[in-house]
Structure 1
Amino acid sequence: MSDHKIKNKESLLSHGDAGAKAQVLELTERVLQRLDARKRLHEMMHREGSELVIGSRRHDLSRYRHVYAFSSGKAGNHMARAFEDLLGEYLTLGVTIIKLRDEEDVYRKTEVYVGGHPLPNEEGIRGCQRMIDIAEQMGPDDLLLLGLTGGCSALMGYPVEGTTLEDLQEATDVMLKAGMWVMDINDIRGHLSRMSRGRLGQHIHGAKILCFEIWDAVGLDDITDYTEPVPIMGTPVGYDTVTFQDIGAILRKYHIEDKLPRNVARYLLDYDPAQETPQTMTNDVDYYIVNTLPDSCQAALEAAEEMGIPAHVLTTYAEGESRDYGTFMASLAHEVVKNERPFRAPCFLFSAGETTTAIPDSSLIRGHGGPSQEMTAAFAVAAEGLKNVCLLSMDSEGTDGTTPVAGGLTDGTTGTAAAERGIDLRKALREHAAYEALEPLGDTVLTGNTGTNLCDFNVLYIGTQE
């Protein structure tokens, strides 16, 4: 659990404003280490003999006929490894559906399926069916630990009857390019999956379920005691508060009814009430939150204090167009440098949330990228000439958009470096090719699986000016 999260630190420090970037990389490394799901689960619970202890609750593993562990999501690897650590010899079998498999992923009793994200795939479907087959064998003498992290709605995308994998992939692509709010996307995908919004739970009869989730949504309240269960929200074993009628309203809000595959539109709009997701609880579930989105900024404040650098949280509700956010961050840096307001250097400024990149016309796309890379590319344009200033933006789970990197790290020298190499950052932003612009400059951040998925994490550092 002590391996470095940022894999290309030396490369990132080999050029540009190395002093500023070193501060940001050190802080970000500390934040990611704090948020690792495997570490977090070990902090939340432990074993005493045959008893699994979570806060004030104890579960005697020896009294269960079978103990299973399912997990899915971008940090599903780390949850699966934690479950194996904690359950030990009491684990009967585990199944995990993940986005990327790491070299460190060594399992004893866990079957691994590499699903697709943001577009579901066939291997993910096989993993879903395996979970369903096991779930149907569970009874009152069994225990299930279920770990959920961001991305599981895609990775567990198992098309409902009457739709195909291609339908689900096309529908997801339509929603992403429409710039939809991620929770609206998840509500729709939840109704299109045989696993989501309580549908997996319909196959479980009587088993005790302990559910652990990293909640990666903007706006959820802070949790004061992570070892105490909270009311369950959604999940494959909970219940759904969203109906087909609500789904229709979402489709109309974004004007995508006519853009969806015919089978998907028919299923969602001409629905059979009998196909509605479960609207009440059908299982005995203790539901725990492992982390919420504001935790990344809280961890950053703690890390900054350790480093002795003043720090401030701008917001944990960051949304909107990524490139605009990057331009704003540059304008804020200019204000601090020029007028020493609203903060004085040196300082870190943190924000978290989920900014997006709207692509109304796919014909404009000439490359690859993601919201975090677009944010840092836009920052580089607007921050040209600033000294001892840099911005890191990353998707905290380790992959930004359609690329293999977590995000970008740019500073006041990036624009000049790009121009010297014939790279037009403004054109890259217009053509949604930020990856092709930043990667040759050595300004992309590589992490692989980080073990968490608290949406986007942004760090602006403004150092002392000479």
Structure 2
Amino acid sequence: MRFMPHWYILEKTSATGRFRIAPIVHWPLLKTCSDKEETPMNAEHSVTLKEVFLEAVTACSPRTLLPPLIESSRDCIRIAGHSLGNNPLHVFGSGKAAVSMANSLYTALGKRIAGGTLVSPEESPTLPPNLRHFTGDHPIPTERSYRAGQVMMQAMKSLLPSDRFVYLLSGGSSALMEIPAPPFSISDIAIATKLLFEAGLPIADTNMVRIHLSRLKGGGLSKQIRAKGIVLVMSDVLDSPLSVIGSAPLWPVKRNYNACVDLLRNNGLWPALPANIRSFLTKSPEEEPLSFAIPHEIVADNRTMLYAVRAALEDRKVPVRIVSDHLDGEAADVGHGIAGLALNVSESLKDGEKLALLFSGETTVTVKGNGTGGRCQELALAALAELQGNPAITLFTAGSDGRDGPTDAAGAVADHRIWIKSQEIGLFSEKFLAQNDSYHFFQSTGGLINTGPTGINLLDIVIALIQR
């Protein structure tokens, strides 16, 4: 069902606290700014919004956020309020932000880092001395992910009870390192992971299944550790549940095999799973004792990024309204809804007024075609179809990690310029949406946003900039 653009708004539901598309009853008075000389924004909004995005990335980087958490004196090292003694620390980490977090930690502690191991998607990153690095693959785990998981488990298992460690956890860890539970191979895990992603399941459901198939996840890694330490987390999951972020390698998670089977059956995935996975889950293996809980501290989440974007826009004298910090659902539906909201707000503004609507979260894409794209690009393409080239609105959406799905782009921009280009070269958004091929649409029209890896992973940002 298409949303009527002038009659819908994103509204928070009382039952779940999440946002849904709902009929507009009343739009509150908006604070606007009509002084053109006071705002340096110009017609090339997409360029300015990319600058805003990158400025927010810098504000949310580990080199900005970690130093205030670290106290290093002759007698003691304290991180996020936790005393870790005065001996050199062992540093471990996994995820898209692991390397940048480790480099920031080294800047503060220097030679007080004894050594450690990192796993990230980067091929040849710049590392602090004494740290080893292993490259894993994302979003589908491979043999490199298996190797990285083995090395990480062995490294942490070798710690002595007297040692102290810091683990740097961020999004992407689920795929970057893995040790399948017997009798699975990494190929079995890859097949299951691909099925889960293509079904468009929420990340909490996807990671629940992954945990049941892994020796590493759901606290599996912490079972190998005798030393004490803490985990610093950059969260890529809404509400930051520790049982979901990175599939919880150091946080104990109780398995529920019946719930896992029901989830897979209800979403039509059961018949496509490898036979050994189906057999394993239905036999409900005896639950092992849970590992002890290692203290976790959330360093940043999607709200951190959202507020940094707001600050960057306000620095440019652009009025801002945060609409949702909990965006989820099917990417195309959300794109239609946000565009409809922007069209409605546009009609309420006077000439010369402007407003930026902000959203943050993580949508999903149920793959039905054989194209290429990511959730941000899919959202932008659906919004473009709804906006129909409206010159008053620019929609910018990007993944904070700099990579949207299995593509080299961070996201896409939908505006009048992209619409006109698509019409000139005969590209129709509906056709590309049907094939889940948003990447090639925006590649052809010049709408891709390319930033490269950002060193953080704090979900996605959507900016709808309205200029009358």
Which bin holds the TM-score, normalised by the shorter protein? 0.7 to 0.9
Residues 1:120 and 2:133 aligned together: no
Could you tell me which amino acid in structure 1 is paired with residue 233 of structure 2? E
Asked if the contact 1:415–1:425 (Cα under 8 Å) also holds between the matched residues in 2, the reply is no
Distance 1:162 1:345, change over 3 A: farther
In 1: Cα distance, 2:70 partner to 2:307 partner? 21
The partner residue of 1:456 within 449, 455, 460 is 460
* Residue aligned with 1:347, SS: strand
The partner residue of 1:59 within 84, 108, 117 is 84
Greater alpha carbon shift after TM alignment, 436-445 vs 178-187: 436-445
Q: State the partner residue of 2:292.
A: 282
Shift of 1:419: 2.0
Could you tell me which amino acid in structure 1 is paired with residue 208 of structure 2? D
Asked if the contact 2:116–2:155 (Cα under 8 Å) also holds between the matched residues in 1, the reply is no
Could you tell me which amino acid in structure 2 is paired with residue 386 of structure 1? N
In 1: Cα distance, 2:244 partner to 2:170 partner? 14
- Percent identity, aligned pairs only, is 26
In 1: Cα distance, 2:312 partner to 2:254 partner? 38
In 2: Cα distance, 1:242 partner to 1:394 partner? 34
Distance 1:107 1:54, change over 3 A: closer
Distance 1:231 1:244, change over 3 A: closer
Asked if the contact 2:153–2:224 (Cα under 8 Å) also holds between the matched residues in 1, the reply is yes
Could you tell me which amino acid in structure 2 is paired with residue 210 of structure 1? I
The partner residue of 1:376 within 374, 380, 405 is 380
Shift of 1:256: 1.7
The partner residue of 2:393 within 389, 394, 399 is 389
Q: State the partner residue of 1:131.
A: 152
Deviations 1:363-404 (A, max 9, x none): x31x31011001111222222232242111112111111101
In 1: Cα distance, 2:282 partner to 2:389 partner? 53
Matches within 5 A, 1:144-163: 144-163=165-184
The partner residue of 2:262 within 240, 249, 259 is 249
Could you tell me which amino acid in structure 1 is paired with residue 335 of structure 2? G
The runs of at least 4 consecutive aligned structure 1 residues that moved more than 4 Å come to 230-234
Deviations 1:192-228 (A, max 9, x none): 12211111111112x111111122222349xxxxxxx
Distance 1:164 1:125, change over 3 A: same
Deviations 1:5-59 (A, max 9, x none): xxxxxxxxxxxx8432233223212211111134222232242346323354433
Q: State the partner residue of 2:427.
A: 423
Shift of 1:250: 2.2
Matches within 5 A, 1:60-459: 60-62=85-87, 67-101=89-123, 105-205=126-226, 207-220=227-240, 235-273=248-286, 276=287, 278-279=289-290, 281-282=291-292, 285-340=294-349, 345-359=353-367, 361=368, 364-365=369-370, 367-459=371-463
Greater alpha carbon shift after TM alignment, 431-440 vs 165-174: 431-440
Asked if the contact 2:67–2:105 (Cα under 8 Å) also holds between the matched residues in 1, the reply is no
Distance 1:312 1:177, change over 3 A: same
Deviations 1:84-125 (A, max 9, x none): 33332122222111123476x343222211211110111222
Structure 1: where are the runs of 5+ without partners? 1-16, 222-229
Asked if the contact 2:148–2:178 (Cα under 8 Å) also holds between the matched residues in 1, the reply is no
In 1: Cα distance, 2:43 partner to 2:115 partner? 47
* Residue aligned with 2:271, SS: coil
Deviations 1:277-329 (A, max 9, x none): 643x426x221111122222222222222222110111112111111222222
Asked if the contact 1:423–1:437 (Cα under 8 Å) also holds between the matched residues in 2, the reply is yes
Asked if the contact 1:239–1:277 (Cα under 8 Å) also holds between the matched residues in 2, the reply is no
In 1: Cα distance, 2:114 partner to 2:148 partner? 17
In 2: Cα distance, 1:314 partner to 1:101 partner? 38
Deviations 1:141-183 (A, max 9, x none): 1112111111111112221110011100000011111111111
What's the TM-score, normalizing by structure 1?
Answer: 0.85
* Residue aligned with 1:320, SS: coil
Distance 1:395 1:55, change over 3 A: closer
In 2: Cα distance, 1:41 partner to 1:326 partner? 34
* Residue aligned with 2:66, SS: helix
Deviations 1:425-466 (A, max 9, x none): 221111111111111322111122212212211111112x2x
Asked if the contact 2:218–2:248 (Cα under 8 Å) also holds between the matched residues in 1, the reply is yes
Distance 1:277 1:301, change over 3 A: farther
In 1: Cα distance, 2:189 partner to 2:91 partner? 27
- For the aligned residue pairs, the C-alpha RMSD in angstroms reads 2.5
Asked if the contact 1:231–1:287 (Cα under 8 Å) also holds between the matched residues in 2, the reply is no
What's the TM-score, normalizing by structure 2?
Answer: 0.85
Distance 1:166 1:56, change over 3 A: closer
In 2: Cα distance, 1:329 partner to 1:291 partner? 25
In 2: Cα distance, 1:37 partner to 1:86 partner? 11
Asked if the contact 2:207–2:244 (Cα under 8 Å) also holds between the matched residues in 1, the reply is no
Structure 2: where are the runs of 5+ without partners? 1-41
Asked if the contact 1:384–1:416 (Cα under 8 Å) also holds between the matched residues in 2, the reply is no
Q: State the partner residue of 2:38.
A: none
Deviations 1:316-362 (A, max 9, x none): 12111111222222222221222339xx9411111111111102x4x
Distance 1:278 1:347, change over 3 A: farther
In 1: Cα distance, 2:70 partner to 2:119 partner? 23
